[in-house]
């Protein structure tokens, strides 16, 4: 149980285009989903926290107008990288939380974005 | 959330126990200790978490010192597939966000 999927697993796009990444909790309802990015040889950096039906909370330094997050249902959150540039190339990972105290987060397999 | 300190890398022989230490001297009373691992180019995998008592599951054991200022993750019989970066994270009890440090890169060698 507690499986989280991401689609696509990898995407290559041209500079200036927008890319949407989906995160789905397959066998549970996730009250909260999180988005991370990870550059090569570095740790995961939390970008934003999203709760179903409300606006996402972004971490300091993350541009909310560039990284649009939608959490329309308890099983789906999307991250849209708008007007992507080569410096946005990264590994984007989502996680989903079951809710409640002391609960663990379950992570998706990640999406490798390459912007040419 | 409290900060954690882990050694950047460790080696372990296949079949032996891997003991991964973590210091969290500023942990507060309502914060849990979580362990995740990340195999190269994959999403992190939950391993175990605990508050005060030692915990064990099918993957690992978590030993937390009495003062809660440090903990050790134990993989009892490491295999080559346990080669990964292991993250120790301190997190508030109410489902707070996970803040990843640099972790320990564990290499299990034949």
Q: How far apart are the first and last CA of chain B?
A: 37
What whole-number percentage of chain A has pLDDT above 90? 74
Shortest distance, CA A33 to any CA of chain B (angstroms): 10
Q: Is the pLDDT of residue A101 over 60?
A: no
B93/A99 touch (CB, cutoff 8 Å), yes or no: no
Mean pLDDT of chain A: 91
**Residue in B42, B98, B102 closest to A105 by CB:** B98
pLDDT score, position A91: 97
pLDDT score, position A102: 46
Mapping DSSP to helix (H, G, I), strand (E, B) and coil, where does residue B80 land? helix
pLDDT score, position B95: 60
**Mean pLDDT along residues B53-68:** 96
pLDDT score, position A103: 67
**Mean pLDDT along residues A89-113:** 85
Q: Which residues of B touch A (CB under 8 A)?
A: 32, 34, 36, 38, 41-46, 49, 51, 87, 93-95, 97-103
> CA–CA distance from B27 to each of A68, A104, B1 (Å)?
34, 18, 8
> CA–CA distance from B10 to each of A3, B14, B18, B85 (Å)?
30, 13, 9, 10
List all residues of chain A from 49 to 88 with a beta carbon under 8 Å from chain B.
Answer: 49
Q: Is the pLDDT of residue A100 over 60?
A: no
Mapping DSSP to helix (H, G, I), strand (E, B) and coil, where does residue B82 land? helix
pLDDT score, position A54: 84
B100/A45 touch (CB, cutoff 8 Å), yes or no: yes
Q: Could you report the per-residue pLDDT of B82-98, keeping only the tens digit for each?
A: 999 999 999 876 567 88
Confidence of residue A36 (pLDDT cuts 50, 70, 90): very high
Mapping DSSP to helix (H, G, I), strand (E, B) and coil, where does residue A75 land? coil
Q: Could you report the per-residue pLDDT of B71-85, keeping only the tens digit for each?
A: 999 999 999 999 999
A60 CA to centre of own chain: 16
Let me know: does B45 contact B39? Beta carbons within 8 Å: yes
B95/A107 touch (CB, cutoff 8 Å), yes or no: no
The pair of structure tokens assigned to B74 is: 């134990």
The pair of structure tokens assigned to A100 is: 């409640």
- For β-strands B104-109 and B9-13, DSSP reports them as parallel
* Cβ neighbours for B95, distance < 8 A, ≥ 6 positions apart: A32, A97, A99, A100, A101, A102, A103
**Mean pLDDT along residues A20-39:** 92
Confidence of residue A113 (pLDDT cuts 50, 70, 90): very high
pLDDT score, position B91: 87
Q: B87 to chain A: which residues are within 8 Å by CB?
A: 43
The pair of structure tokens assigned to A64 is: 């909310």
* Cβ neighbours for A13, distance < 8 A, ≥ 6 positions apart: A19, A84, A113, A114, A115, A116
What whole-number percentage of chain B has pLDDT above 90? 82
Check whether the bond before A51 is cis (ω within 30° of 0).
no
What's A1-68 look like in SS3?
CCCEEEECCEEEECCCCCEEEEEEECCCCCCEEEEEEECCCCCCEEEEEEECCCCCEECCCCCCCCEE
Q: Which residues sit opposite B75 in a β-bridge?
A: B18
pLDDT score, position B1: 59
Q: Could you report the per-residue pLDDT of B2-16, keeping only the tens digit for each?
A: 689 999 999 999 999
């Amino acid at each position: 149980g507690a499986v989280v999927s991401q689609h696509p697993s990898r995407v290559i796009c041209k500079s200036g285009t927008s890319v949407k990444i989906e995160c789905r909790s397959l066998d549970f309802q996730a009250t909260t989903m999180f988005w991370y990015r990870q550059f090569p040889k570095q740790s995961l950096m939390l970008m934003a926290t999203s709760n179903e039906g409300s606006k996402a909370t972004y971490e300091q330094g993350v541009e909310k107008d560039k990284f649009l997050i939608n959490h329309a249902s308890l099983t789906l959150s999307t991250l849209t990288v708008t007007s992507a540039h080569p410096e946005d190339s990264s590994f984007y990972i989502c996680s989903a939380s079951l809710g409640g105290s002391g609960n663990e987060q379950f992570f998706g397999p990640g999406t490798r974005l390459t912007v040419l | 959330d409290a900060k954690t300190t882990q050694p950047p890398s460790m080696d372990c022989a296949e079949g032996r126990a891997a003991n991964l230490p973590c210091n969290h001297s500023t942990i507060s009373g309502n914060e849990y200790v979580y362990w995740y691992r990340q195999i190269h180019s994959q999403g992190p995998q939950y391993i175990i978490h605990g508050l005060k008592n030692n915990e064990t599951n099918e993957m690992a054991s978590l030993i937390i010192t009495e003062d809660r200022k440090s903990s050790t993750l134990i993989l009892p019989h490491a295999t080559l597939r346990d080669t990964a970066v292991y993250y120790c994270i301190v997190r508030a009890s109410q489902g707070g966000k996970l803040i990843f440090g640099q972790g320990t890169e564990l290499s299990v060698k034949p």
